[in-house]
Amino acid sequence: MKITSICPPPSNILVKCVTDSIINALAWDHYVDPQGRIRIISYSTGCWADGGEETILIQRTTKDTEVTIEPLLDRDTLYHIEVKAVYTDASGSTFDGPAGPVLTK
């Protein structure tokens, strides 16, 4: 049986600042369930180098809608970033929501 997430992925993901060694201020919009069926408790971000989708280099968890990802290993490498919401439903069960669009920086 396939379980379908009732929490949409984070939206409007953007990077406010990039340097040679960090992605500073990766931000996204927060979903609010108008019916109160779910509550987002945190966000999980993953970052990996181009071609290494199976190997997450940097993972962060935050309760905010903004995070800094560091250290980036090579400024000439493309990095891919995804953001997922972690939420609870009315039963108190915890789920990972779907990832928002993957960014490349």
Does residue 6 sit within a domain?
no
Matching residue, tokens 């929501």: 97
Residue 35 Ramachandran class (φ > 0 left, ψ -120 to 50 alpha, else beta): alpha
Q: Is the dihedral of CA 72, 75, 80, 85 positive or negative?
A: positive
Domain count, the chain: 1
Does residue 2 sit within a domain?
no
Does residue 4 sit within a domain?
no
Does residue 5 sit within a domain?
no
Residue-range definition of the domain harbouring residue 33: 11-104
96 to 5, 74, 76, 100: CA distances (angstroms):
8, 30, 31, 12
Tens digit of pLDDT at every position of the chain (105 positions): 445 567 888 888 888 888 777 887 788 988 888 888 889 999 998 888 887 666 777 888 889 888 888 877 777 788 888 899 999 988 888 988 888 877 776
Does residue 92 sit within a domain?
yes
Does residue 64 sit within a domain?
yes
